[in-house]
Amino acid sequence: MKVILDTNVLVSGIFFKGVPYEILLDWKKGKFKLIVSHSILNEYSAVIEELSKKYSNFEATQILEKISLNAKIYFEIALPEQICDDPDDDKFFALALASKTKIIISGDKHLLHKSGYSGIRVLKPTEFLTQYLRKA
C-alpha cells in the first residue's frame, strides 16, 4: 500500500507521540510505502529544521536522510487546475496522481475537503490507523 503523509502528520509523528507516531512506526516496520516528491521533501525539511531548533536534542538530518533513503520519490504531475483552497496543498494531489497513490493522510481541512478527488482518499491519522493498520 502506498501512502502520502501531509507535512503536519509527519512532523507530529517525529516530535510528539500519539497516532502520527504510531503511523511512522508502522512505516518503519514496512506496513506501507511512503511516497514523496522533491517539493514535499523540501517542505518536510524546512519544517523539521525549524522545529529542531526548538528541540536541541533532536537530530533532523538523520530523520530526513531516513525518509530520503526509504521513501519512494516521484515527480509530481502538472494539475489542470487548482484543487485545494490553499494552492500549496495541491502538491499532495499532484503527487498522488503521478504515483497512483490512493491515500493521503492529513488533518488539514483544505485536503480533507477534497477527499474523493480522482479516487484519492484523504484520511485523518486515526481513520488511517483504524481502517488500514489496526483492523479488528
> Which CATH number covers residue 97?
3.40.50.1010
Instruction: Report pLDDT for 62.
Output: 79
- H or E element in which residue 5 lies: strand 2-5
Q: State whether the Cα torsion 89-95-98-101 is positive or negative.
A: negative
Q: How many domains does the chain have?
A: 1
- Per the structure, the complete domain to which residue 111 belongs is given by 2-133
Sheet strands (E) in 62-110:
72-73, 103-105
Per-residue pLDDT of the chain (136 residues), as tens digits, is: 999 999 999 999 888 889 999 999 999 999 999 999 999 999 999 998 888 888 766 666 777 888 989 999 999 999 999 999 999 999 999 999 999 999 999 999 999 999 999 999 999 999 999 999 886 5
Q: What is the pLDDT of residue 136?
A: 52
Q: What is the pLDDT of residue 57?
A: 62
pLDDT at res. 56: 64
